Amino acid sequence: MSEENSQDPRRRYSSPVVDGPGKAASRAMLRAVGFSDEDFTKPQVGIASTWSQVTPCNSHIDTLAEQARLGADAAGGKGVIFNTITISDGIANGTEGMKYSLVSREVICDSIETVAGCEGFDGLVAIGGCDKNMPGCMMGLARLDRPSIFVYGGTILPGENHTDIVSVFEAMGAHSRGDIDRIAVKQIEETAIPGPGSCGGMYTANTMASAIEALGMSLPNSSAQNAVSQTKLDDCHAAGEAVLELLEKDIKPSDIMTREAFENAITVVIALGGSTNAVLHLIGMASTIGVELSLEDFTRIGKRVPVVADLRPSGHYMMSELVAIGGIQPLMKTLLDAGLLHGDCLTVTGRTLAENLADVKPYPDDQQIIMPLDKPIKAQSHLRILYGNLAPTGAVAKITGKEGTRFTGRARVFGSEEEAQARINDGTVVAGDVLVIRYEGPRGGPGMREMLTPTSAIMGRGLGNDVALITDGRFSGGSHGFVVGHVTPEAFEGGPIALVEDGDEITIDAEADVIEVNVSDDELARRRAAWRQPEPRYRRGVLAKYARTVSSASLGAVTDLPE
- Catalytic sites, residue numbers: 476
**How distant, in Å, are the alpha carbons of 87, 160, 194, 454 from that of 190?**
21, 9, 9, 22
- The helix/strand/coil state of 248 is helix
As a whole number of angstroms, the distance between CA 282 and CA 379 comes to: 23
Under 8 Å between Cβ of 253 and 141: yes
**Positive/negative CA dihedral, 225, 229, 231, 237:** positive
DSSP-derived secondary structure letter, 94? T
**Residue partners of 430: CB distance under 8 A and separation at least 6:** 463, 467
**How distant, in Å, are the alpha carbons of 132, 447, 548, 554 from that of 545?**
18, 11, 5, 20
Question: From its phi and psi, is residue 562 left (phi > 0), alpha (psi between -120 and 50) or beta?
Answer: beta
Strand-pair category, 482-485 with 505-509? unpaired
As a whole number of angstroms, the distance between CA 118 and CA 125 comes to: 16
CA 205 and chain centroid, separation: 6
Amino acid at 416: S
As a whole number of angstroms, the distance between CA 131 and CA 143 comes to: 19
As a whole number of angstroms, the distance between CA 524 and CA 528 comes to: 6
As a whole number of angstroms, the distance between CA 266 and CA 253 comes to: 18
Element (H, E) at 247: helix 230-249
